[in-house]
Amino acid sequence: MGEHIIKLPDVGEGVAEAELVEWHVKIGDMVREDTVLAAVMTDKATVEIPSPVDGEILWLGAEIGDTVAIGSPIVRLKVAGDGNVVADTKSPEVTAASTPTPNPSPQGGGGGATASKGGAKPTSSSSANPKGIEGGEAAATESPSPLWGGARGGGTAPTSQVATPAGAPRPVGERPLASPAVRLRAKEAGIDLRQVAGSGPAGRIGHEDIEAFLARGPQVARTSGLARNDAIQDIKVVGLRRKIAEKMSLSKSRIPHITYVEEIDVTALEELRAALNKEKRPGRGGVERPKLTLLPFLMRAMVKAIADQPNLNSLFDDEAGIIHQHGGIHIGIAAQTPSGLVVPVVKHAEARDIWDCGAEIIRLAEAAKSGTATRDELSGSTITITSLGAMGGVATTPVINHPEVAIIGVNKMMVRPVWDGTQFIPRKMMNLSSSFDHRVIDGWDAAVFIQRIKTLLETPALIFVD
């Protein structure tokens, strides 16, 4: 038997490090070739790390949320044959059955007060960082990590003990063991079963325990079922959420925003969109044209408006004092995914017609939601659209995607009464809430830009006129 060290591979051009966001294995697991071991994140793109060989997990070299340099060891396997570790650098085997040691401090390092149930943590430096790995022997680890006990990702670890109400035999959140008949009786008597000590196996509560509890007095027995919860859970901010936090902090701390809100009458646009969606005409390559939403129309309107004001399609390097004005219009589309907010990018919108824009939005949205979007698909935007659809609200204050200088926010569409000079008529109305970098975009320029978009959306035939 030998040992095989797996190092963090090159996960993208120009990437020097990556954040570990998920472990799919734990110490002692048997894995086969191509089994996914972990997931790392770079620039909002998640990359899975597979095992190149069959073997048993001996050591995991990082915790959830750690930043790992490319080429650093992350996993050690016991394999058949010689492996890729020379004999004098092999370390004693580390297994998940290592004896856990108590943690004297419940704070710090993202660890909890005790190891997770069913798991264990290393008790010496040889189990936490075997010899032969960069840096030699590490000091003994005091705090447990999510990788002991087989936790998969998340980086969430309770760091304080759950509070127990006065007189309660079990902590808040622990479900009492009792039969349905006992539970019904307790409910009818107004008894909180968490306050009842069970005399049966594993603390199971029986009818005799209910009777004993009632015998102690109604002032204790009859409760409302409400109890204080003093538990505090410390959640480590890792992965995509940390990337979002860093990006938002950068944008709000360095960009002085000016937000401009304008009302748009989209009645004619919606009629045109419905008519176009009824047509069954093939698009490019014989593929059926996609169903159009509002966004492709907005994108084409932005392209026309940027042609008149190219300074809106820029990136501002505030440290160098340079505005990089781009010819290509690369529109980021903010998309909500189960993991958080990402911004896939429709490249060269100026070279796409309205159906091509729609098809690319659909493709990128599916890739973002499934977690398969590439680094290139999630970077390179020069201006961004943000839309919450039906949840869009009446008005919002969008945060600019640094180092861009503008973001266009789409609010929800509503039917409102509009005065036409003689009477009120129902019209489909929608607000655009847009933010601009006031260091390089004056309020007048922002207003002219949005008014141009308003004209195009309210008279949608103009969008198709070159």
Quick: pLDDT tens for 292-350: 999 999 999 999 999 999 999 999 999 999 999 999 999 999 998 888 899 999 999 99
Residue whose token pair is 């290592």: 98
Better-predicted residue by pLDDT, 228 or 102: 228
Nearest to 349 by CA among 309, 382, 316, 314: 382
Set 330, 438, 445, 466: catalytic member: 438
Rounded (10°) CA dihedral 434, 438, 443, 449: -50
Check if 66 is active-site.
no
Q: Is the pLDDT of residue 134 over 80?
A: no
Q: Which of 66, 442, 445, 466 is catalytic?
A: 442
Query: Residue 215: what pLDDT?
Result: 86
SS (HEC) of 19-64: EEEEECCCCCCEECCCCEEEEEEECCEEEEEECCCCEEEEEECCCC
pLDDT value of position 139: 37
Active site residue 4: no
User: What pLDDT score does 87 carry?
Assistant: 52
Identify which of 301, 377, 386 has the alpha carbon closest to the alpha carbon of residue 341.
386
| 205 or 146, which is more confident | 205
Alpha helices in 266-400 (DSSP H): 267-278, 294-308, 354-370
Supply the pTM of this predicted model.
0.65
- pLDDT, residue 81, reads 83
User: Is 80 exceeded by the pLDDT of residue 191?
Assistant: yes
Q: Once rounded to an integer, what is the mean pLDDT over residues 208-233?
A: 76
